[in-house]
A and B are shown apart, each in its own frame.
Chain A
Amino acid sequence: MIVAGCDVGSLTSKAVLMKDGRILGDAVIRSSAKPWESAEAVMQRALPENVSREDIGYCVGTGYGREKIPFVNEVVTEIACHGKGAQWLVRTARTVIDIGGQDCKVMRLDTDGTMMKFVTNDKCASGTGRFLEVMARVLGVALDELGDMSARSRNPVTFANACTVWVQADVIQHLNDGIPREDIAAGINNAMASRIAILVNAIGVERDVCMTGGVAKNNGVIAALDKLLGIRMRRIRRYDPQLVGAIGAALFAAEKAGGGVI
């Protein structure tokens, strides 16, 4: 049976189709204000050539807009889906860090995928994808360039502040002072990593650790986080880390449709 997972987030929507444990198609699009529209659009986009919507036997919805997707059979939270998807991609994953656009979640999984614990941060923008977005804009670089700039930095800036608003002001100050963009970018990535590290340490590090969500594509944050946690995180290379939630949802769909555990 073909199953699907649809992850409607506040910033991006993702969809994944699977059959017999293999991914047939996937898509990531920018979310619109209406979750049901985003869900429709991304599902269409994810369909491979010879597959139509009617071929999908079971669909699980997740993400902030999950309750508003009309065509799903059931909903599961993105925490569970990210955990599920991460462990499918990295069999040994026990600690999964998901940085979304608006919040940051860390979860601990057992060897069989049981969710042992999770912790979230929703106090403010620092430590979420929003922080990087804002800084990238101020710095005048594309979001996906920000990560690699760390590696080219000789002398990373240290941001004293934790607050997005203040860091923004500091970035502008540094630009005006002629500090190289790479050094500022490295400082931004490091600041992000240190916020995340607090959350990870709060739940306790259990190897292997991996990151999902858009921020996982930022090598600067990953490298800095590796250092702070004192371990090397497993990178998700097979697929776009942003798809992990949708993959997990599709896996749940397969299970719930009676296909058993993949």
Chain B
Amino acid sequence: MRQATREYSFDWMLWATFHAASKLKKGTEKEYRSVLNYIPYFRGIVENVLKLGEPGELFVKMCERYLDNLVHVHERGRKNAITTFCFSPTIFYAMDITPVCMEVMTAFMTLTYKRGTAEFLDYCNEVGFTETSCSSQRGSLGAYLAGVGTDIDMIITDTPGVCDTNANAFSFAAAYLNKPFFQLDMPPVLTGERSNEYHRADYRALISFLEEQTGKKLDIDRLREVLAEYEKQDELINELEDLYRLVPNPLPVPFSLFLYASRFLFAGMKECTELLESMLRSGRENAERGISGLSGGSEKLRAFFCYIDHYTQNLHLWEMLDSLGICYAGNILSRYWAPDAPYVKEFQMQEAAYTIDTATVDTMIDSLALINSRMPMVKSIRGPYDAPNMWLEDTLSLAKMYRVDFIVYNGTPGCRNTWGMLKPFARDTEKAGFPTYIMYADAFDDRVQSWEATRERFEEFLSVRGLLG
């Protein structure tokens, strides 16, 4: 690790970056344009986000807020918890714990910095962690292992049974840094009384753990508040997901990122609600006028990413889709399985959805357990991929509902889970009539396959399959 990297706390550095970015639109347009000349390395990401107007600004503000919380956590007398994006932070906010989501931290850095998290990825190797583990955790994990991040109070994961490489990274971090650790374990089946009971018992054990760590009991009123806000967010998301069905799709490509980022960062908190409301206003406006959310205005293709996006510098995946006239119907990260979600209603999947009942503390905890077990990936990549409620069913129903022209898989070489059955999966989606493209890139590490090569191969797929005239 370079000396310079060791000298700055990396999360402080990210916060300072987003903090500055959050002020960019406070002046005049002319002032904004001239500042861009002074930030040649950040210009790309800044422009790609802020050109979307209010939602873009709120997105930056939201990220800044998240980082502000975690950088000042101990000063403000709170505890923090390192966790995964698959874990809904709602419970943390209900218990006044500041979440630090590793994959989000990695993405913050890979989206903004030219070298991404390369040094931290390498540092993980140096301390004995396996190079083959998923880069999404490894990117920021390296920083925390090297002690150039904020001090951690506890480590929570809910991916055992869903994703080994993820759960393993958190387990390793806990052992390496000697921190309290809790895992929510997921059985291979999503629905049914046995699974519900298991999720419930496990979640209660989690709450006891959190109460022990913070020295405070779960505040029922606060929990009710947070869940009420969560439900409000569900309504907004349901409507946004409905808008996705329109042809042309009225939502700009990056909105899908904003949607799931807001959920991962602030589920149950108003920062998420504000952003969703703004996106909805913008989306409704476009829908009323029957226009496409693409900046070129002309929708040529509709894509569904069955897994995750590509998070290296400058939002270039979203940029590429936008410039090619491809609207984006989201990916595995943008679906939460609320009871009134359009796909739940469309395909009669009520059993797969969660329910929210704020009547008593017990029903609320049950709701949280269910919400958590339906989080992206936790829901659908836990059992055999072709089992009910699992990945294939989800992908095909969403692809049908959003009338997409093709499906794209993008992940990381660390994803043992998906690479373990991706070929049969793609065969099935092709059989179902969706041209399917498998990207061999690493969503968080351009050293595996450069963005240029990635883009080239993507475009080659489109032309070979006759998708783009």
Contacts and interface: CB of A to CB of B under 8 A. Distances in A.
Interface of A: 123, 160-163, 166, 169-170, 194, 197-198, 201-202, 228, 230
A202 B448 CA distance: 21
Interface in B97-139: 122-123, 125-128, 131
B268 to A, nearest CB: 39
Nearest to A197: B122
A155 to B, nearest CB: 16
A162 B1 CA distance: 16
Nearest to A195: B122
A166 B447 CA distance: 9
Contact of B128 (A163, A170, A197, A202): A202
A202 B127 contact: yes
18 contacts: A123-B131, A160-B447, A160-B450, A161-B446, A161-B448, A161-B450, A162-B447, A163-B448, A166-B449, A166-B453, A194-B122, A197-B122, A201-B123, A201-B126, A202-B125, A202-B127, A202-B128, A230-B3
A198 B127 CA distance: 10
A121 to B, nearest CB: 10
Interface in B370-412: none
A166 B126 contact: no
Interface of B: 1-3, 122-123, 125-128, 131, 446-450, 453
Chain A interface mostly = helix
B447 A161 contact: yes
A161 to B, nearest CB: 5
Q: Of B1, B2, B127, B450, which is in contact with the most chain A CB atoms at under 10 Å from its CB? A: B450
Contact of B446 (A160, A194, A198): A160
A171 B240 CA distance: 46
A158 B17 CA distance: 24
Contacts of A202: 125-128
B446 to A, nearest CB: 5
Contacts of B2: 228
Given A160-B446, A198-B126, A201-B123, 15 more contacts: A160-B447, A161-B447, A161-B448, A161-B449, A162-B447, A162-B448, A166-B449, A166-B450, A170-B450, A194-B122, A198-B122, A201-B1, A202-B126, A202-B128, A228-B2
A230 B128 CA distance: 21
A25 to B, nearest CB: 41
A47 B446 CA distance: 52
6 closest A-B pairs by CB: A201-B126, A202-B126, A198-B122, A162-B447, A160-B450, A160-B446
A170 B449 CA distance: 11
A230 B446 CA distance: 26
Contacts of B128: 202
A117 B237 CA distance: 56
B422 to A, nearest CB: 20
Nearest to A158: B115
A249 B131 CA distance: 34
Nearest to B3: A230
Contacts of B446: 160-161
Contacts of A230: 3
Given A166-B453, A230-B3, A198 B448 contact: no
A160 B447 CA distance: 5
Contacts of B449: 161, 166
Contacts of B1: 201
A228 B2 CA distance: 7
A168 to B, nearest CB: 13
A123 B447 CA distance: 16
A161 B453 CA distance: 11
Q: Of A161, A169, A170, which is in contact with the most chain B CB atoms at under 10 Å from its CB? A: A161
A163 B413 CA distance: 14
A54 to B, nearest CB: 50
Nearest to B119: A194
A248 B449 CA distance: 41
A202 B449 CA distance: 25
A201 B142 CA distance: 14
A162 B121 CA distance: 12
B3 to A, nearest CB: 6
Nearest to A161: B447
Q: Of A160, A163, A197, which is in contact with the most chain B CB atoms at under 10 Å from its CB? A: A160
A20 B176 CA distance: 50
A162 B449 CA distance: 9
A202 B125 CA distance: 7
A183 B121 CA distance: 26
A116 B119 CA distance: 27
Nearest to B124: A198
B147 to A, nearest CB: 15
Contacts of B127: 202
A136 B285 CA distance: 58
Contacts of A163: 448
Contacts of B131: 123
A203 B96 CA distance: 41
Contacts of B448: 161-163
B427 to A, nearest CB: 27
A201 B122 CA distance: 10
B348 to A, nearest CB: 47
Contacts of A197: 122
A198 B447 contact: no
A43 B449 CA distance: 46
A228 B450 CA distance: 23
Nearest to A203: B126
Contacts of B125: 198, 202
A237 B127 CA distance: 33
A230 B4 CA distance: 12
Nearest to B114: A158
A228 B5 CA distance: 12
A164 B363 CA distance: 56
B457 to A, nearest CB: 12
